[in-house]
């Protein structure tokens, strides 16, 4: 049973993921790497560098049950796509007004973070682009599935999910939503994403801004 870390940090994980993508996935020219903040951004930066691809962020926010915010009743993603757990909402008797209030609050947070990270620069357009969705790992796959659906709704040419580590079940379910899936490691039992990193320090907003700025300068150059 594997329990020791697989990666030193997110930079090493991103480099390993990029090499795997180069070897096994046919990456179209002018691909767009969309990283899920904040932990996915250092990984996505390494992937974008190696593949000479554009880099941007793609945000997903959980819609927490009022009073029990750790329990998700749905999620919302950049672009406004919302998914709801209708069975849970009905079971708990959550009103449509309460759902709308939580959705509005989380939409504001998405817009705030996008403004903060991009420094008034517009999002890189998704339509007709080959998109690579990247995060530092995935236990349940919930955020990545919502992101994939939102990207599909914006008429991307293709979608690849790329992760350094994820649960086997999550990687299996991604195939329902995307064209390609690359999961470098699928240890079982999975535990949590941070288990598989020696250094899993929280990525700061300033780090996200710096990496996006560096990627933007490289794109202009």
**Each residue's pLDDT tens digit, 154-204:** 999 999 999 999 999 999 999 999 999 999 999 999 989 999 999 999 999
- pLDDT one-digit tens code per residue, 127-143: 999 999 999 999 888 88
Q: What is the pLDDT of residue 220?
A: 59
- pLDDT one-digit tens code per residue, 35-93: 999 999 999 999 999 999 999 999 999 899 999 887 889 889 988 888 898 999 999 99
Q: What is the pLDDT of residue 118?
A: 84
In this prediction, residues 102-113 reach a mean pLDDT of 93
Q: What is the pLDDT of residue 30?
A: 83
Q: Is the pLDDT of residue 218 over 90?
A: no
Q: What is the pLDDT of residue 160?
A: 96
- Spatial distance between the Cα atoms of 41 and 134, rounded to a whole number of angstroms: 8
Parts of the chain belonging to CATH 3.40.50.2020 = 10-60+125-220
- Joined together, the tokens standing for residue 95 give 């009103």
- Joined together, the tokens standing for residue 65 give 């049950």
Q: Is the pLDDT of residue 2 over 70?
A: no
Strands 68-77 and 60-65: antiparallel
Burial class (CB in 10 A: 0-12, 13-18, 19+), 50: middle
Look-up of token digits 């801004």: 209
> Are 161 and 182 within 8 A, CB to CB?
yes
Q: What is the pLDDT of residue 169?
A: 94
Q: What is the pLDDT of residue 170?
A: 93
Pick the CATH number of 10-60+125-220 from 3.40.50.2020, 2.40.160.20, 3.60.20.10, 3.40.50.620: 3.40.50.2020
């Amino acid at each position: 049973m594997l329990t020791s870390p697989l990666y030193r940090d997110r930079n090493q994980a991103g480099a390993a993921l990029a090499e795997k993508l180069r070897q096994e996935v046919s990456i179209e020219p002018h691909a767009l790497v969309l990283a899920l903040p904040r932990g996915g951004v250092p990984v996505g930066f390494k992937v974008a560098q190696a593949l000479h691809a554009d880099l941007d962020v793609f945000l997903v926010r959980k819609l927490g049950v009022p009073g029990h915010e750790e329990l998700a009743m749905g999620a919302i993603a950049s672009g406004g796509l919302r998914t709801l757990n209708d069975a849970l909402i009905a079971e708990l008797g959550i009103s449509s007004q309460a759902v709308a209030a939580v959705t509005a609050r989380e939409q504001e947070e998405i817009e705030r973070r996008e403004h903060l990270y991009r420094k008034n620069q517009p999002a890189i357009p998704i339509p007709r682009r080959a998109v690579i969705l990247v995060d530092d790992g995935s236990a349940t796959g919930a955020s990545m599935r919502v992101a994939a659906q939102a990207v599909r709704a914006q008429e991307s040419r293709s979608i690849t999910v790329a992760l350094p580590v994820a649960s086997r079940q999550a990687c299996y379910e991604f195939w329902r939503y995307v064209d390609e899936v690359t999961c470098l490691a699928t240890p079982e039992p999975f535990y949590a994403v941070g288990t598989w990193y020696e250094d899993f320090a929280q990525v700061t907003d300033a780090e996200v801004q710096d990496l996006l700025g560096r990627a933007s300068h490289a794109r202009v150059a």
